[in-house]
Amino acid sequence: MIKFDKLRVLNLFKNELTTYKKVKNRFFELSGDFSKIIDVHFISTGDNKRAFTIYFAVTVPKILEIVWKDDSYLKGSAETGVFYCTINDILTDFSTKPKVKYWDIPNENEMYEEVKGIIKNKLIPFADRFDSLESLNTLIDTINYPAKNAAKMPIMNMCLKLMLNKDREFYELAEQLKKRDIEFYGDNVDELVKLKEATAGNKMFAQWRGDV
């Protein structure tokens, strides 16, 4: 592993991600009801050396509030996204087994040029596909990303379908999760179903969803 300048790495991202807000090692782009996160994750490899990788996610503050009781997307890491993947997933078009790509190139200038090209030609175009909650829902359903069924991810997906009033998809996913692991998902599924029933005729909730 090489020893490189962490600040220079982050400045590379800052210069390319002109529409994103930098908070420490993360870059956020707020788009109405959701936020895109690009997380530059550094690891120590010993002898004052470091390597880094890139995570991408899409968070929805309302979903964070419902599932995690906190709607501050700026506090969340990429793992709190309703969609979450690694840069390697994007580079391979989600066609390989889960793998994290770390940069370890002896020639620093070569490394920065490679990463700059990836940001411009791969990462930003992929992130731009998420331009609405509707497109977020579609991409979640159509992309087979490794974290799709991990931990609370399916519950957050249920929340999204609740927000979009996707009744059939909402109840189908609720049934699937209870069949998959009722002990793990049961309480969360029941809470969301109750929330849906309680807010079905609520005008404020309908406005928030965009129904009226």
pLDDT in tens, 157-195: 999 999 999 999 999 999 999 888 888 888 889 999 998
Residue 203's pLDDT is 44
CA distance 39 to 23: 10
In 3D space, the residue among 119, 156, 162 whose CA is nearest the CA of residue 140 turns out to be: 156
Cα-flanking dihedrals φ and ψ of residue 60, to 5°? -125, 110
CA distance 123 to 108: 20
CB count in 10 Å sphere of residue 98: 12
Tokens of 98: 């889960």
Mean pLDDT value across the chain? 85
166 SS3 class: coil
Residue 74's pLDDT is 58
List the single range of 1-5, 28-32, 57-61, 129-133 with lowest mean pLDDT: 1-5
Residue 206's pLDDT is 46
pLDDT in tens, 36-60: 999 999 988 777 678 899 999 999 9
Is the model more confident about 50 or about 62? 62
Task: Check: CB of residue 108 under 8 Å from CB of residue 4.
Answer: yes
Residue 104's pLDDT is 72
Residue 210's pLDDT is 47
Average pLDDT over residues 62-91: 81
Task: Check: CB of residue 27 under 8 Å from CB of residue 21.
Answer: yes
Whether 207 shows a pLDDT value over 80: the answer reads: no
Whether 80 shows a pLDDT value over 50: the answer reads: yes
Whether 139 shows a pLDDT value over 80: the answer reads: yes
pLDDT in tens, 88-135: 999 999 987 777 888 875 567 888 899 999 999 999 999 999 999 999
In 3D space, the residue among 37, 8, 34 whose CA is nearest the CA of residue 21 turns out to be: 37
Band of pLDDT at residue 4, cut at 50, 70 and 90? low
